[in-house]
Chain A
Amino acid sequence: MTERKVLVVDDDPDILDVISLILESQGYEVIVARDGVECLNKLREAKPTLMILDLLMPKMDGFAVYKELQSPEWSEYRDIPILILSSVREEASRRRYELETGRQLDVDEYLEKPISPEALLGCVAKLLERKERV
């Protein structure tokens, strides 16, 4: 079986616990980060198979992480699927990113909080399946 290492980025420790619990119950390995800066460090260190990213965070937010990953410097990480998990409505986030950068927020999946375990697991499985096929 291929590696199933998920990097979870959220500033709320409770949310990190919930996601870890759900993912670990299905045998995923979970790495956590509390802000965007830590996220980029862990991304380099751990090379996860998938990333779950919150948008509103201190220091460096999810928008900034996504923007940073578009630069050539991060090209070898670009095949890591990104699942956004945010309390902000998808439509509002997309508009904000477009207004601020003039580009599309082209993430693989978008889930709104609160977390539904079924929806989360479904999304993660779908993204990994898609990645393996590629």
Chain B
Amino acid sequence: MEEGQRYQLLYSIAQKLNSNLAPHEVLRTIVETTCDAANAKGCSLMLFTPDRQQLVHTLACGLSDWYVRKGPVRVDAALAQALEGKPVMILDASADLRVQYREQAKKEGIVSMLSVPLVRRGEVIGILRIYTSEARRFSDEEIDFFSALANLGAIALERAELLEEEKKQFLRFVSIAAHDLKAPLSAIQSFLSVMLGGFAGELNEKQRHMMERASQRITELLNLISNLLDIPRIEMGQLVQEMTEVSLAQIIDSFVEEGSSLANQKGIKFSVYVPQNLSTVYGSPARLQQVITNLVNNAINYTTEGEVCVRAMETDNEILVEVTDTGCGILPEDLPKVFQDFFRGSNVGSKGTGLGLSISRRIIEAHGGKIWVESPCAETGKGSRFCFTLPKR
């Protein structure tokens, strides 16, 4: 590769570092660019474990899963030098005694390796390693170039850490904001309930009516606050901490009572079909419950006669849940917008926060699933059919 081309590559990566691209995207570009520029078999970014005793393949290209996952790499003679900040060249990885996984390297088809240190503020935090499938001796110019790429990698990693810290701080801010916004409303709502409950003397009809309306508005506002603050939490990946093995059958089951009672009040039928021994999924029980509750509540709200039905079924690798209703349906021009923030159907007035479905979409997507709607429901020709899928565990 010519000098001009190398400058060009360094420049384009430096530019990416300055853009809004996620730092991990930049790291991936660095690893792939290095691999291409070296015309190598593969390339891997290996970082220290916190105890600095081992290195792990953090991001790799051109290497088999088997090789990358063979386990953490002890700091051996081949690495020790790189960790002093000097590049290390190994001509024959299957024979060089400095290499720890000689057999595996041979099996993977690796012949030569070049390791350049990743230095951040004078400290080596890992290495960028290039693998070739033929014996290769890298020139000083090439080594300099790859060292420069590795340094850009170190900067990208630092940015990733800063972003992670910012994210934590923001989520902390969100939870304080949630508490401070809800606390006064909760107090007001509690006073209203006490008065409505007759604990502070008799109310006349007018007073009761107005207090009920005030209480209703506060309930709506509390819901809006919860919903608004849910969005950053879901988007910033807080769900991952809540994930565990979940039985969707159980989640649907636990809503049957409430759903039936709501449907009963409106004089519509509510039925649930969930096969016995439905496979489990990996997810957040509370959030999946939120999706089911949201879909069924919507279906009941927008249906005046007929039936609301929840079905779960299973394919080879997915679970599909559908909620169908025989309600007013969704206008064709509204269909593409139902999962957007603050969208309310033009045929249903301005009930609700307009965030329920957009939050459901975020929850399902955070689980690696899909959510969609058809209206009218193809099977019945009426109402709508909301579906989501989740990958099986």
User: Which A residues have a C-beta under 8 Å from some C-beta of B?
Assistant: 12, 14-15, 18, 21-22, 25, 56, 87-89, 91-92, 95, 99, 113-118
Let me know if B104 is at the binding interface, CB within 8 A: no
The answer to whether B199 and A95 have CB atoms under 8 Å apart is no
Residue in A25, A99, A115 whose CB lies within 8 Å of B190: A115
Residue in B187, B193, B242 whose CB lies within 8 Å of A117: B193
The answer to whether A12 and B179 have CB atoms under 8 Å apart is no
Within 8 A of A (CB), among B184-230: 185-187, 189-191, 193-194, 197, 199-200, 218, 222
Q: Are A22 and B186 CB-contacts (below 8 A) given A89-B286, A99-B241?
A: no
The answer to whether B182 and A18 have CB atoms under 8 Å apart is no
Q: Are A21 and B241 CB-contacts (below 8 A) given A14-B187, A87-B182, A117-B199?
A: no
Residues of A within 8 Å of B191, CB to CB, are 14, 18
Closest 5 pairs between A and B when the two form their complex, measured CB to CB: A114-B189, A14-B187, A115-B190, A117-B197, A113-B186
The answer to whether B193 and A114 have CB atoms under 8 Å apart is yes
Instruction: Provide the bound-state CA to CA distance between A114 and B183, in Å.
Output: 9
The answer to whether B186 and A87 have CB atoms under 8 Å apart is yes
The secondary-structure label for the interface of chain B is helix
The secondary-structure label for the interface of chain A is helix
Query: Tally of A-B residue pairs with Cβ under 8 A?
Result: 55
Residue in B179, B193, B200, B242 whose CB lies within 8 Å of A56: B179
Tally of contact residues, B, Cβ under 8 A? 20
Instruction: Provide the bound-state CA to CA distance between A99 and B242, in Å.
Output: 10
From B215, which residue of chain A is reached at the shortest CB distance?
A: A114
The answer to whether A22 and B199 have CB atoms under 8 Å apart is yes
The answer to whether A18 and B286 have CB atoms under 8 Å apart is no
Residues of A within 8 Å of B242, CB to CB, are 95
Instruction: Provide the bound-state CA to CA distance between A131 and B193, in Å.
Output: 28
What are some 18 contacts across the A-B interface (CB < 8 A)? A12-B187, A14-B191, A18-B187, A18-B190, A22-B197, A22-B199, A87-B183, A87-B186, A88-B179, A91-B286, A113-B182, A113-B186, A114-B190, A115-B190, A116-B193, A117-B194, A117-B197, A117-B199
Q: Are A115 and B193 CB-contacts (below 8 A) given A15-B186, A21-B199, A25-B199?
A: yes
Instruction: Provide the bound-state CA to CA distance between A80 and B186, in Å.
Output: 27
A13 to chain B, nearest CB (A): 9
B7 to chain A, nearest CB (A): 49
B213 to chain A, nearest CB (A): 16
A119 to chain B, nearest CB (A): 9
From B218, which residue of chain A is reached at the shortest CB distance?
A: A114
Bitwise interface map of B from 161 to 190 toward A, beta carbon under 8 Å scored 1, else 0 = 000000000000000000100110111011
Q: Which residue among A56, A89, A113 has the maximum number of chain B CB atoms within 10 Å of its CB?
A: A113
Residues of B within 8 Å of A88, CB to CB, are 179
Instruction: Provide the bound-state CA to CA distance between A15 and B183, in Å.
Output: 9
